[in-house]
Amino acid sequence: MINLIRNPDVYHGENRKSNFFEGWYFKLVQPLTGRTYCFIPGIFISSEKGYSHSFIQVLKGNENKFKYIKFKKDEFKASYSEFNLSVGENFFSISQIDLNINQQNENISGTLHFDNIIKWPDSRINPGSMGFYNYLEFMQCYSQVCAVDGFIRGKLYINGEIIDFTGGKLYIEKNWGKAFPYSYIWVQGNSFAGGEGAVTCSIGQVPLPFPFKSFTGFLIGIYAKGRFYKFTSINKSSLSVKCEDEEVILKAYNKKYSLKIEGFYKKQDFMSLYAPSKGSMRPIANETLHGNLKVELYDNIKGYTIFNDDCFSAGIELSENYINLTNRMCFKEC
């Protein structure tokens, strides 16, 4: 168990018999066109007979097209000591993916290699991006940022078209547990106009065991100018959330730094991804892969702007009840 806590990237489903899911999220951005694709391999273990299965979710961001491709449960294989897994004839790891999908009118094949991976800095006390929360056994959903940023080498053959991703950007994260949070906001981007930088944000309503109430937890990390900056519930940062029409504004701050993220999206661009809810995989996660971000990081002590840039091909995902997070958090100026 301790090895799994210290290495959140790896598979956590050993000996799980029911009500469990685990999925890895690989986001790929083509450098010249900004075309964005996402592949989500994973497994769902149900208490009901015949419901358990493995899967690969395929997202084509610029086409707003989504496929949920099912596989048999035993077609999922994963290591408990290293980050590598396979679903059918498709292989995924921190250093490459090898795809061979030929279902539901999707013919996708090829190998991509990943270089210059930027990890979320952690420690024994605070492992992975969730930190100390990984030691708590009652959590409904766990999250891990496996690769904040990285570069891609290689090509994919997608439905007769050859797409060269060499020089493009990579992002990897994963989730596992019993179900997704009731309400959450997720924002991610690493395709900035200036060529450098990466940001990832997860905000969710976290249920606690009776008689305690839920609380709002958040994990925000930004990699800028060769350094990593964290704004989290654990390190006593503060967060404010404001939602307007097709815009979400996040402001995080602590004694040293302030961060402002403005995320812009079109409701018509959302795709409905499958996520675990009420004992089954349901299309409850609304996501776009071509949102836009404005990101500014400020040094409160030295009084200057560390990073200020715009991001394209950004991921923005909202739960159906995401607006509840704004009601639970007080908005104030950084």
The Cβ of residue 49 has, within 10 Å, a number of other Cβ atoms equal to: 6
Position 150 in a domain: yes
Residue range 168-196: mean pLDDT, rounded: 95
3-state secondary structure 7-41: CCCCCCCCCCCCCEEEEEEEEEECCCCCCEEEEEE
Position 333 in a domain: no
DSSP states along 202-244: EEEEE--STTSPPEEEEEEEEEETTEEEEEETTTT-EEEEEEE
pLDDT at 210: 65
Position 230 in a domain: yes
61, with CB counted inside 10 A (0-12, 13-18, 19+), is: buried
160, with CB counted inside 10 A (0-12, 13-18, 19+), is: exposed
pLDDT at 36: 97
Residue 328 has pLDDT above 60, yes or no: no
Interatomic CA distance for residues 65 and 36, integer angstroms: 11
> What are 243-270's pLDDT values in tens digits?
999 999 999 999 999 999 999 999 999 9
Three-state DSSP class for 80?
coil
Q: How many distinct structural domains can be found in the chain?
A: 1
> What are 194-236's pLDDT values in tens digits?
999 999 999 998 877 766 777 888 999 999 999 999 999 889 8
Position with higher pLDDT, 4 vs 150? 150
Position 272 in a domain: yes
The model's confidence at residue 69, banded by pLDDT at 50, 70 and 90, is very high
Position 81 in a domain: yes
pLDDT at 329: 57
Position with higher pLDDT, 40 vs 135? 40
- The mean predicted confidence, pLDDT, of the chain is 93
Taking the model in full, what pTM does it have?
Answer: 0.95
- Report residue 85 as tokens: 């897994």
The model's confidence at residue 331, banded by pLDDT at 50, 70 and 90, is very low
Residue range 102-112: mean pLDDT, rounded: 97
> What are 5-58's pLDDT values in tens digits?
889 999 999 888 888 999 999 999 999 999 999 999 999 999 888 899 999 999
Position 334 in a domain: no
Task: List all residues 6 or more positions away from 154 whose beta carbon is below 8 Å from its beta carbon.
Answer: 96, 110, 111, 112, 113, 164, 165, 166
Position 179 in a domain: yes
Position 30 in a domain: yes
**Alpha carbon distances (Å) from 231 to 133, 219, 313:** 15, 6, 23
Residue 330 has pLDDT above 60, yes or no: no
Per the structure, the complete domain to which residue 73 belongs is given by 2-328
